[in-house]
Amino acid sequence: MTTPPLDIARVRAAFPALSSGFLFADNAGGSQCLAAAVSRLSDYLLNTNVQLGADYAVSAHSTARVAEGEEAARELFNAESAEEVAYGSSSTMLVENLARAMEADVQEGDEIIVTGEHESNAGPWKRLAARRGAVIKLWSATHIPGASPDNPYAVALQLDALLPLLSPRTRLVAFTACSNILGSLVPIADIVRAVRNTTHALGARKTEFCVDCVAYAPHRRIDVRAWDVEYCYFSMYKVYGPHCAVLYARAPALRDSLSSLAHHFLDVPDKPYKLQPGGPGYELVYACAAVPPYLRLLAPSGTLADAFDAIARHEQTLLEPLLAFLRGKAGRGVRIVGEEEAGIRRVPTISFVVAGERPIGIRYGHFYAYTLVDTLEPKLDVEDGVVRISLVHYNTVEEVRRIIGVLEEVLA
């Protein structure tokens, strides 16, 4: 049975910022925040702002509230346990902590494969490799089979470009589930399976995976268990929550591959606290507990799977007319970066380049995917980078028409 379409009026009512009439089309940089999340944050600070773990009533209440936020993250990851989830101030900081914690388990000559996507899942591993004498290999995006030969920017991460990089020394593969520039979805389970089979046959000591879901989490259901990955992360402030991030570390990896960053006298060999020294902002963790209930309301079944199915189908209605418009401007020098067609492999994060100088008043740059933009051919000025429009499910078709109208004027 097909999930009913989203009730867009109900969706938009959950976000007070949308009543301003301003068109938010930079959602890959951060979504609008749910009113329910702000209410939780305020209520925590005003009524339960005490240290956790004590036996007096307010502390017990505060501890239970933080546990709600931890359970919310577990649900969004589909993790086995909330004790596999760490909170932090940002995705970049959490991955840096993860790399620091992995340091003792990385040997000289080990190989770490990264992509040119957002630097949060590349920079920490480059620094770890430099400290430990490990080797960095780059899995580059390559031209999509069947894409227009006239568009050299129609590229994506593809398995056939990854497999030759594998060796008996492959220790970690760090890649994105969805590019914040290309907007393309990566078949995570297929990639993990192929890599594990290959490195096992080659006799690798240990191969783990760190998946960046920052640009994936607003659009599709995360499932770390189905994907069979050790580490995964995303930013809650890009999934309608407050400004913080969450990291999944599978229990065996948390215990066996990572050293603790916590105080030396704390016994946390299998606890996520080993990755969040000093603890997270408790009010932020509790505020994140508003996200899964909101998402479940989007589908009559009340399941996250159906909610994300409805989100994906609505977002295709936003994506199709905008991609069609940009394809129609190829004669004016417009080239879509990534997959040129709407469909199951695409989310509504759309980047494009324009030949020549044009005053386009939409945000542009490399969006911290510096290496990806720097390696595109023909060469781009990295600081100018690409123009990016990023939509999510609270955007409407009418807003897409407004965007197209603006672009029509400047590209005429």
Q: Quick one: 92 and 160 in the same domain?
A: yes
Strand order in the sheet with 170-176: 85-88, 245-249, 231-235, 208-212, 170-176, 111-115, 135-139
Closest CA to 189 of 232, 155, 218: 232
User: Quick one: pLDDT at residue 359?
Assistant: 38
- On average, the pLDDT of the chain sits at 93
Residue type, 81: S
Output 294 or 359, whichever has higher pLDDT.
294
Final residue of a domain: which of 260, 293, 326?
A: 293
CB 134 within 8 A of CB 193: no
Q: Is residue 371 part of a domain?
A: yes
Final residue of a domain: which of 293, 316, 334?
A: 293
User: Quick one: pLDDT at residue 361?
Assistant: 37
With cut-offs at 50, 70 and 90, classify the pLDDT of residue 357: very low
Q: Quick one: 200 and 229 in the same domain?
A: yes
User: Quick one: pLDDT at residue 364?
Assistant: 66
- pLDDT over 90 at 409, yes or no: no
Q: Is residue 317 part of a domain?
A: yes
User: Quick one: pLDDT at residue 368?
Assistant: 65
Output 184 or 333, whichever has higher pLDDT.
184
Output 219 or 3, whichever has higher pLDDT.
219
Return d(Cα 269, Cα 170) in angstroms, integer.
25
pLDDT in tens, 167-222: 999 999 999 999 999 999 999 999 999 999 999 999 999 999 999 999 999 999 99
User: Quick one: pLDDT at residue 356?
Assistant: 54
Q: Quick one: 122 and 237 in the same domain?
A: yes
Q: What is the DSSP letter of 286?
A: H
Return d(Cα 157, Cα 92) in angstroms, integer.
21
User: Quick one: pLDDT at residue 358?
Assistant: 42
- pLDDT over 70 at 279, yes or no: yes
- pLDDT over 80 at 159, yes or no: yes
- pTM for this prediction: 0.93
Closest CA to 95 of 116, 123, 75, 57: 123
Final residue of a domain: which of 259, 293, 327?
A: 293
DSSP letters, 314-366, are: HHHHHHHHHHHHHHTTGGGTEEEES--S-STTB-SEEEEEESS-----S-EE-
- pLDDT over 90 at 111, yes or no: yes
User: Quick one: pLDDT at residue 239?
Assistant: 98
- pLDDT over 90 at 406, yes or no: no
Tokens representing residue 307 in the block: 């909610």
Q: Quick one: 226 and 323 in the same domain?
A: no
Domain interval for residue 81: 57-293
Q: Quick one: 307 and 329 in the same domain?
A: yes
User: Quick one: pLDDT at residue 70?
Assistant: 98
Residue type, 299: A
Per DSSP bridges, beta strands 364-365 and 245-249 are unpaired
Span 339-348, average pLDDT: 93
- pLDDT over 70 at 363, yes or no: no
Q: Quick one: 184 and 244 in the same domain?
A: yes
Q: What CATH code is carried by the domain that includes residue 259?
A: 3.40.640.10
